[in-house]
Amino acid sequence: MKYFYKKKNSDFYESRLVDSPVFWWITTLVITCVGVYAFVKGYSSNFLKNLVMASALSLAGISFWQAYQVKKYLGSFKRFCSYLVNFDLVQRLDTALLNARSKGAMRAETYRVLPKIWLYYENNAFHLKIEKLPGSYSEDLDHLGELISSTLGDRYFLTSKQISRDESWFLFVCSKLEKNLQWTPSSRNFRLEDPYHVRLMADFTLEFEKLPHLAVFGATGSRKTTTLIAILLQELGRSECYFLDGKSEFSALKSFMSDKYFAESEDEILALMNHLLKIMNERKKILAEEVKKRGKMGLTAHDIGLPPVFLFVDEYASVKARCSKSKELDRLMLQALMQFRSLGRCVYASLSVTFNHCFKYADA
């Protein structure tokens, strides 16, 4: 484990030089070399002799201990070289961990304890070992995984995470992506003609007449809102778009869209949901008439040419936090999700949850 101490008159933490084994290894090496040089030049005394012997023994002890650590946790000199080459990544992870533990803390501590991190790059993947500190729980595996993913960026994907057999280390593998999967429009023709079809990548299209609702899960900073904006850019001008804006991310759109499409306060949120349910009832009547005309059951808004209506919910937890009547909001949202499917009403929601929660929602 590593200790970071709070700087005087500041909210920042930093490690002490004297806590670094590299500092003592260099110090003992310099003392030994200077002492040997003094002996060669004819300067000798019992004090200098004892100092050089103590320094040489300390240098040997530190070197042996570091070699043992490398052999135990990395396994080979090649991996140790990879660790040194990618040491900047270790420092970035330390900074991210320090920020995560300091943010929202009830009180400022004089020091913070961070886990030891070992890593190496092999077979187009980063292999990481992060020390499991006392008091850590299995849930921390998800939190660390999200932190590692955000630190490595878009070029690497977390493919494995587990706890070691002795339950002393968190183990992660982040593989390199063969291509950049970030959504990037390349031309004006990127947008499809069918308003029910949204293209996120060149080879990935969402067909909302088949899967009308979309939930985007991820940690803070994982580009949930960016995904919603990617969809929004393709739907503006050809569909009605409404917003439950928990973070006020879409407020800039008010410069060219009416306020009736946005809801931020509790009254506005409940009023907008009720308004959408009223429109839904009107569409039910239109569908019923078309069923009578065509003599065909199971028609949808897409089948009869009704344009889609989109509801963008950015951070549903933030939206609920603004409502004292959260149960009423849940009731309206559940009603919308269950009845919007055939009526051309699509709900896009982003939620900040861990990987475990994602699996629970998927199982449900």
Question: What is the CATH number for 234?
Answer: 3.40.50.300
Residue type for position 179: K
Distance, CA of 310 to CA of 253 (rounded, Å)? 15
Expressed as residue numbers, the domain containing 39 is 7-73
Identify whether residues 218 and 358 lie together within a single domain: yes
Q: How would residue 19 be classed by pLDDT, with cut points 50, 70 and 90?
A: low
Average pLDDT over residues 265-290: 86
Residue 217 lies in a domain: yes
* SS3 label, residue 127: strand
Distance, CA of 308 to CA of 304 (rounded, Å)? 11
Among residues 198, 349, 321, 193, which one has the least CA distance to residue 264? 321
Identify whether residues 221 and 80 lie together within a single domain: no
Identify whether residues 63 and 80 lie together within a single domain: no
Which residue, 181, 198, 216, sits at the end of a domain? 181
Identify whether residues 66 and 136 lie together within a single domain: no
Q: How would residue 323 be classed by pLDDT, with cut points 50, 70 and 90?
A: confident
Q: Cα separations (Å) of 297 from 73, 204, 288, 338, 346?
A: 65, 31, 9, 19, 21
Q: Which residue would you say has higher pLDDT here, 274 or 10?
A: 274
Number of domains, the chain: 3
> Beta strand pairing status for 169-176 and 125-131?
antiparallel
Reported as a single tens digit per residue, the pLDDT across 187-207 is 455 677 788 888 877 777 888
Which residue, 73, 92, 108, sits at the end of a domain? 73
Identify whether residues 80 and 119 lie together within a single domain: yes
Identify whether residues 338 and 219 lie together within a single domain: yes
Residue 2 lies in a domain: no
Identify whether residues 217 and 352 lie together within a single domain: yes
Reported as a single tens digit per residue, the pLDDT across 222-275 is 677 777 888 888 888 788 888 888 777 787 788 888 888 888 888 888 898 888
φ/ψ of 192, rounded to 5, equals -80, 160
Residue 1 lies in a domain: no
Q: Which residues of 149-181 are buried (b: 16+ CB within 10 A; e: fewer)?
A: beebeeebebeebeeeeeeebbbbbbeeeeeee
**DSSP characters over 310-343:** EEEEE-HHHHHHT-S-HHHHHHHHHHHHHHSGGG
**For residue 67, what are the contacts with CB-CB under 8 A and spacing of at least 6?**
none
Identify whether residues 173 and 241 lie together within a single domain: no
Q: What is the pLDDT of residue 360?
A: 32
**For residue 76, what are the contacts with CB-CB under 8 A and spacing of at least 6?**
none
Identify whether residues 176 and 126 lie together within a single domain: yes
Which residue, 73, 88, 116, sits at the end of a domain? 73
Average pLDDT over residues 102-126: 73
Distance, CA of 361 to CA of 364 (rounded, Å)? 5
Structure tokens given for 205: 């299209």
Least confident of 38-47, 117-126, 274-283: 38-47
